[in-house]
């Protein structure tokens, strides 16, 4: 049988709990970053009428659904 002091047991318990919380936090941040990158990639702003629309295709040139102008996919910047 393994003998362990109460202090060591408390430290081990805290290390396991904090390690699990850290892993959950890192996984949540990674998932949020991926979602944000996908959102920025899928939204397109028309250069003519400033209409913002969503397009999930990989095409670089898109037709604006409002004015019909060809629009080049660029990154959407946060204000």
Binding site for Zn ion (CB under 5 A): 46, 48-49, 51, 64, 66-67
Rounded to the nearest whole angstrom, what is the least distance from the CB of residue 60 to Zn ion in the complex?
A: 16
Q: Residue 12 or residue 70: which is nearer to Zn ion going by CB?
A: 70
Q: Provide the pairing of β-strand 43-45 with 52-54.
A: antiparallel
Rounded to the nearest whole angstrom, what is the least distance from the CB of residue 69 to Zn ion in the complex?
A: 5
Q: Residue 9 or residue 49: which is nearer to Zn ion going by CB?
A: 49
Q: What tokens were used for 42?
A: 């899928």
Q: Is 44 exposed, middle or buried (0-12, 13-18, 19+ CB in 10 A)?
A: buried
């Amino acid at each position: 049988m393994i003998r362990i002091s109460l202090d060591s047991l408390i430290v081990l318990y805290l290390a396991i709990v904090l390690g699990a919380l850290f892993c959950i936090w890192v996984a949540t941040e990674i998932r949020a970053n991926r979602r944000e990158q996908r959102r920025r990639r899928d939204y397109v702003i028309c250069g003519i009428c400033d209409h913002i629309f969503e397009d999930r295709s990989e095409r670089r040139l898109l037709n604006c659904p409002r004015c019909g102008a060809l629009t080049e996919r660029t990154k959407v910047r946060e204000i």
